[in-house]
A and B are shown apart, each in its own frame.
Chain A
Amino acid sequence: MSTVNVSRRKFLGTTAVVGGGLVVGFSLSGCSRAPLPIEKTEGSLVPNAFLQITPDNVVRFYCPRDEMGQGVTTGLGTLICEELDYDPVNLDVAFAGVHSDYGIPGAGIQMTGGSGSIRAHYEQLRQVGADTRALLVEAAARDLGVARERITTADGHVLADGERHAYGRFVATAQTLTAQEGAPLKAPSEFRYIGKELPRIDSIAKATGTAQFGIDVDIPGMHHAVVVRSPVAGARLKSVDKTKARQMPGVTHVLEISSGVAVVAEKFWQAKTAAETIEPEWEDAPLGAVSTQTVRDDYQAGLQTDEGLVGPEEGDLDAGFAAAETVVESEYWVPYLAHAPLEPMNAVVKLENGEADLWTGTQSPTVAQGLVARFAGLEEEKVRVHNAYLGGGFGRRATMTHVIEATELAVATGKPIQLLWSRADDMRHGVYRPASLMRIKAGVDAEGHLSTWDAARVGGNITPDSIENLLPGLFPGLDASTVTWMAGLSDDLTKGWFADPSSVEGLHADYDFENLRVTHTTVDHGLPLTFWRSVGHSYTAFAKESMVDELAEAAGVDPIEFRLSNTKNNPRLHNVIRVAGERASRMRPGAGHHLGFAAHHSFATDVAQVAEVSVSSGKIRVHKVLCVVDCGTAVNPDVVRAQMEGGIMFGLTAALYGKLELENGAIRESNFHDYPILRMDEAPEVEVVILDNGTEPTGVGEPGLPPIAPAVANAVYLATGMRVRSLPFDLEASRVEGLSQWRVPPRDPFWPHSGRV
């Protein structure tokens, strides 16, 4: 019974975290009595789950969240160091194992996503630092015979009576004391590290090849595995001839597992070479009848029905449109996308004496542990998870088929297994950002108020597919049929009861609408979907901010003025628009360059962007991007800047190139030749302006992405007279498809400095 209860608690917590907008989550404090997964050095102090301080003054931080490039080790380390009075540069960081103490505060499980790590731990880790500092001060007071009030701390040292003593000197006494909670926190004016541009904690390891990623794990006796999977998701194995592969050099096993046919060999290259000789036959699967055109046609049909679920609804649409001076209606299309992190999926699993060790870079150690437990038939506490640096995450590393595969193979072969996906495996057998067809009809009244907004989206649902992939790991004790039933419930809910918040987030927000409706129609062909950097915002911002530009033009108002006058109820967004607008008016684009504008609120953060773009021979070139962001307190402004830069590049890759095509249910793309990633010669200069308003920090990893596609689209319109309403940008194809339209370029440019003569 206890397994069920624990799992239920985790499930409820998870929906709050990964579902973005779902509000059913609640918190129960873990209070687990399980031992901490910490290797304690002789004589060192472990005052809580997050810190270990050695007598020679090494401070090790057990980072509860996963480092996928977003700088979480630096950011969370800075929080704890601020109150501990320890220079973050000297912090020794380890990734936490699985334990309830490392769960997201208020959610319980260990998962990294939703641009939520700094937000979630901002209070908690500063308090941990302050309480630990208080403990050390108390120990120092006793050891030195000095009153606590006469002790100060700085840079990992106790200062008393003009003497300086390393914290490590007092850990022996500190171990004999009972740690108190609730030490007072610093006022922001006293911050020494928060708000400063400190170097990243992990940059030297990552510049010298010494940072260990999951793929770099190498343990004695380890065998290497490659899996051949069906080209069509969901197709079962019909037959396979393993004879040839078994005779290949180094091959020890060729066997069937749940996802396909696995080849195990002494070395990776041997496994891969042998796997290429295997040509399994697969059963038919429903997705096999689907191609990209099917998806588009079915979505188009879905948009015509009146059977969509109605989401948020306010005011009176009919009255709003009747009173509108200007009404514009447009449709927007975005394709399926892969995350394509540069490190392909991989995992090492070792089973020994009824216990398991898993090494992998994961966005959820809790789920990873549960998956190994489920597929190895062990209790969760018998599974140790050794998280590593993630070679990119972007949402992809919360789904862990690779962990299941490695576990099945470790069970079947009795050997430690390293399983590695190829790039093509990652492109073709993963989980995806959904394709979407959106329609927005909007009205502006005679006073220029964007009064009426009717938005619709057709596509698959992000949340149920993601939950389906997380459930087996969250509920390792529950039988498969119950898990399937629960996954189906989530699917049914979003098909028939309420629009999946993650799938429509951002489509109906930000502006001062008086009359509002959002409808959603689920059309799902079965390609597995999941969270992809900025989730629903990755496409809704494109539709919303393109439409806002169209409306501004139709109403004859400058697009920035139009946004300013319609965001009075959103002062923070209004402010980033204002600042970006002022800066844009001072930009001096080169000849033939044009400025496009977009703004969007996501993950509690407000971002406005100006893209300087030229179009030559149908090729779009983004020269510069100005990005204004309000993320509350910027714990490390340089990391915030890096995340804005990264979000812009990630969004530009999607806007310029990103698409996966289905052919008879199989994904056509396989590698970076046909799924291009932005390269250095195409990368724009990025200027980031951070408006630190002193309030609590908000999200940073994702909010830089959503505005870039519409900002570029709006500039492309000025450059070519063509509204591109389909991603990725393809000026020729867009014209043929009719989703975009040609117009005479505006003679009277909205942009005084847009370069148009």
Chain B
Amino acid sequence: MIEFELNGEAVRTDDDPNTPLLWVIRDTFKLKGSKYGCGAGLCGACTMHVDGVASRTCTLPVAAVANRRVTTIEGLGTPQDLHPLQAAWHEHSVPQCGYCQSGQIMSAAALLASNPTPSEAEIDAAMSGNICRCGCYPRIKKAIQSVGDTSLAYNAAAGREVNS
């Protein structure tokens, strides 16, 4: 039995400890926002935050998150209560097929949490682990830049950490 915190709630699972966190989240906890793209940590579609750090969960055994904090896209914001990055994604019409966007936003949220006003090179460095097959990169970059340090103010007001 492995226990961890999922989007602010204590959860436990008796899945095989070697099961990648992604599949525990999707199949056991039925949160489908985090996606499977490559199964090898190469595309970033499965990105979640583990103790605030953007992590590729398709290769991360669930055992590795025992007693740690896991945040998925569902924990970042909802359609009724958008995270500033999610609002920026809408404003810049970033998504095309949309399949990679949960992972893109989780990577971007972790970046802004540690670096509220990243340079273009810093955005490139933080986001280059996330593939977008539709080629939304210019819009992703603009959306991140548009949020800038306002995300800190927003989240302070909402009483939560940016990267939870």
Count of inter-chain pairs, beta carbons less than 8 A: 193
Answer whether residue A646 sits at the interface, using C-beta atoms and an 8 A cutoff: yes
Q: Which of B19, B86, B98, B134 has the most CB of A within 10 A?
A: B98
Complex interface: chain B residues within 8 A of A389 (CB):
97-99
Partner of B96, one of A71, A210, A267, A681: A71
B93–A69 CB distance below 8 A? no
Complex interface: chain A residues within 8 A of B100 (CB):
342
Answer whether residue B151 sits at the interface, using C-beta atoms and an 8 A cutoff: no
Query: Which residues between 105 and 163 of chain B lie within 8 Å of chain A, taking CB atoms?
Result: 105, 123-125, 127-141
Answer whether residue A645 sits at the interface, using C-beta atoms and an 8 A cutoff: yes
Distance in angstroms between the alpha carbons of A211 and B100 in the assembled complex: 12
B33–A208 CB distance below 8 A? yes
Complex interface: chain A residues within 8 A of B35 (CB):
213, 215, 342-343, 391
Complex interface: chain B residues within 8 A of A215 (CB):
32, 35-36
Complex interface: chain A residues within 8 A of B55 (CB):
none
Interface residues on B, range: 35 or more
Q: A209-B73, A391-B97 are in contact. Are A267 and B15 (CB under 8 A)?
A: yes
B141–A671 CB distance below 8 A? no
Query: Which residues between 638 and 656 of chain A lie within 8 Å of chain B, taking CB atoms?
Result: 638-639, 642, 645-650
Q: A203-B95, A207-B101, A673-B40 are in contact. Are A679 and B30 (CB under 8 A)?
A: no
Complex interface: chain A residues within 8 A of B141 (CB):
680
B42–A392 CB distance below 8 A? no
- A274 CB → nearest B CB, Å: 12
Answer whether residue A741 sits at the interface, using C-beta atoms and an 8 A cutoff: no
A681–B138 CB distance below 8 A? no
Complex interface: chain B residues within 8 A of A420 (CB):
36
- A222 CB → nearest B CB, Å: 9
Complex interface: chain B residues within 8 A of A285 (CB):
none
Complex interface: chain A residues within 8 A of B70 (CB):
none
Distance in angstroms between the alpha carbons of A344 and B89 in the assembled complex: 24
- B60 CB → nearest A CB, Å: 13
B94–A203 CB distance below 8 A? yes
- A86 CB → nearest B CB, Å: 20
- B98 CB → nearest A CB, Å: 3
With CB as the reference atom, state the residue of chain B lying closest to A394.
B133
A249–B139 CB distance below 8 A? no
Q: Is the interface of B mostly helix, strand, loop or mixed?
A: loop
Q: A209-B34, A422-B39, A680-B137 are in contact. Are A646 and B131 (CB under 8 A)?
A: no
Complex interface: chain B residues within 8 A of A208 (CB):
33, 73-74, 77-79, 82, 86
Query: Which residues between 300 and 346 of chain A lie within 8 Å of chain B, taking CB atoms?
Result: 340-344
Q: Which of A204, A206, A677, A678 has the most CB of B within 10 A?
A: A206
Answer whether residue B4 sits at the interface, using C-beta atoms and an 8 A cutoff: no
Partner of B32, one of A209, A344, A645, A681: A209
A646–B32 CB distance below 8 A? no
- A753 CB → nearest B CB, Å: 23
Interface residues on A, range: 35 or more
Answer whether residue A237 sits at the interface, using C-beta atoms and an 8 A cutoff: no
0/1 string, A673-706, CB within 8 A of B gives 1? 1000111110101100000000000000000000
Q: A205-B79, A209-B33 are in contact. Are A70 and B102 (CB under 8 A)?
A: no
Distance in angstroms between the alpha carbons of A218 and B28 in the assembled complex: 11
B133–A650 CB distance below 8 A? yes
A672–B42 CB distance below 8 A? yes
Partner of B95, one of A206, A249, A267, A340: A206
- B2 CB → nearest A CB, Å: 14
Answer whether residue A375 sits at the interface, using C-beta atoms and an 8 A cutoff: no
- A707 CB → nearest B CB, Å: 15
Distance in angstroms between the alpha carbons of A119 and B53 in the assembled complex: 46
A672–B131 CB distance below 8 A? yes
Partner of A209, one of B19, B43, B74, B135: B74
Answer whether residue B64 sits at the interface, using C-beta atoms and an 8 A cutoff: no
A199–B97 CB distance below 8 A? no
Complex interface: chain A residues within 8 A of B10 (CB):
none
Complex interface: chain A residues within 8 A of B123 (CB):
680
- B67 CB → nearest A CB, Å: 22
Complex interface: chain B residues within 8 A of A341 (CB):
97, 99, 133
Partner of A646, one of B26, B33, B134: B134
Answer whether residue A423 sits at the interface, using C-beta atoms and an 8 A cutoff: yes
Complex interface: chain A residues within 8 A of B30 (CB):
218
A648–B38 CB distance below 8 A? no
Answer whether residue A507 sits at the interface, using C-beta atoms and an 8 A cutoff: no
0/1 string, A340-361, CB within 8 A of B gives 1? 1111100000000000000000
Partner of B135, one of A203, A422, A649, A681: A649
Q: Which of A212, A249, A422 has the most CB of B within 10 A?
A: A422
- A712 CB → nearest B CB, Å: 15
With CB as the reference atom, state the residue of chain B lying closest to A210.
B79
Query: Which residues between 1 and 35 of chain B lie within 8 Å of chain A, taking CB atoms?
Result: 15-16, 19-20, 23, 26-28, 30-35
Answer whether residue A564 sits at the interface, using C-beta atoms and an 8 A cutoff: no
Distance in angstroms between the alpha carbons of A391 and B15 in the assembled complex: 27
A646–B93 CB distance below 8 A? no
B40–A645 CB distance below 8 A? no
With CB as the reference atom, state the residue of chain A lying closest to B74.
A209
Distance in angstroms between the alpha carbons of A341 and B35 in the assembled complex: 13
B139–A642 CB distance below 8 A? yes
With CB as the reference atom, state the residue of chain B lying closest to A203.
B90
Complex interface: chain A residues within 8 A of B132 (CB):
342, 649, 680
A342–B95 CB distance below 8 A? no
With CB as the reference atom, state the residue of chain B lying closest to A644.
B135
Partner of B138, one of A210, A224, A683: A683
Answer whether residue A368 sits at the interface, using C-beta atoms and an 8 A cutoff: no
Q: A342-B37, A342-B97, A343-B99 are in contact. Are A267 and B125 (CB under 8 A)?
A: no
Answer whether residue B72 sits at the interface, using C-beta atoms and an 8 A cutoff: yes
Partner-A contacts on B (CB < 8 A): 15-16, 19-20, 23, 26-28, 30-40, 42-43, 45, 72-74, 77-79, 82, 85-86, 89-91, 93-102, 105, 123-125, 127-141
Partner-B contacts on A (CB < 8 A): 67-71, 199-200, 202-213, 215-216, 218, 224, 249, 267-270, 340-344, 389-394, 420, 422-423, 638-639, 642, 645-650, 671-673, 677-681, 683, 685-686
CB-CB nearest 4 A-B residue pairs: A209-B33, A649-B135, A206-B98, A391-B99
Ordered by A's residue number, 12 sampled pairs between the chains whose C-beta atoms are within 8 Å are A207-B101, A208-B73, A343-B37, A343-B99, A344-B36, A391-B98, A423-B39, A639-B93, A671-B39, A672-B38, A680-B127, A683-B138
